[in-house]
Structure 1
Amino acid sequence: MHPDYLHAAIADTPRVAVYGTLKQGFNNAHWLSGARRLGSDTTRALTLYDIGPYPGAKWQASKGVIIEIYEISIDQLAQLDRLEGYRIDAPAQGEYDRQQIATHFGRAWVYLYNPGVAGKRAICEGGWEMPYTGHD
């Protein structure tokens, strides 16, 4: 049984916008297995930051970063909240906060990076690429 906040969240917005390791072909894409991929979009509302093994997004104007939109279930939203360190009791204190963003497919949840990004490379156009690990 899921908490009431998850029922309300998925009833209001059954979509998620992803920009990093959850994208198709990336190492965490399996978390969206079974979700319906609606397509890609570009948003000028976010700037991505290269945190190293993953990116973080901030509400900062950009030239347009690429996001993928998925229709998700309540189970998937619960799993994504855990993966992203989202805290319903203190959203600003988790690693990521979950907020809504407008997309061509309707409003979608997006995870915004809470820690500071001083000294991190900004990605103001295009998308984040996974770092090369040296493994083929």
Structure 2
Amino acid sequence: MQPRYLRKAIADTPRVAVYGTLKQGLNNAHWLKGATLLGNDRTTALTLYDIGPYPGAKWRPSKGVTIEVYRVNADHLAALDRLEDYRIDAPTQGEYDRQRLITCFGLAWVYLYNPSVLGKPAIREGGWPIPSTDHQHQR
């Protein structure tokens, strides 16, 4: 049985929007095994930042970053909370905070990066991974 906060979170918002390594074909996509891909969307509410091996998102206007939206259950959300170091009792102290984002599929949970992005390259249009064959060598 999942904790009450997870059951409530899924009852209110049974979707998650992903913008980084959780996207199809990327290294963390397996965390969404069994979830239903509803489709792709673009959001101008977020700017992505190149943290290195993965991106982080902040509530900052952009020209439109690409996201995938999934229908998920409480087990998926619990696993994603662990992966993203989301802390229900101290959401700003983990690596990511889970908040709601408006998508064309309805409200969806999205994980926002808590640490500073000062000096990190911004991705204000398009998405992750950054289309560059040298991406891994830019650090």
User: Normalising by the residue count of structure 2, what TM-score does the alignment of the two structures yield?
Assistant: 0.93
SS of structure 2 residue aligned to 1:92: coil
Residue matched to 1:100: 100
Deviation at 1:128, TM superposition (A): 1.5
Three-state SS of the structure 1 residue aligned to 2:27 is coil
Letter in 2 for 1:98: R
Residue type of the alignment partner of 1:62: S
Following superposition, the deviation at residue 19 of structure 1 comes to 0.1
Where do 1:1-136 residues align within 5 Å? 1-129=1-129
Structure 1: tracts of 5 or more residues without a match: none
Measure how far apart 1:132 and its partner are.
5.2
After superposition, the C-alpha distances for 1:62-101 in whole angstroms (9 at most, x for unaligned) are: 0000000000011000000000000000000010000000
Q: Percent sequence identity over matched residues?
A: 72
Gaps of 5+ in 2: none
| Root mean square deviation of aligned Cα | 1.3
Alignment TM-score, normalising by the size of structure 1: 0.95
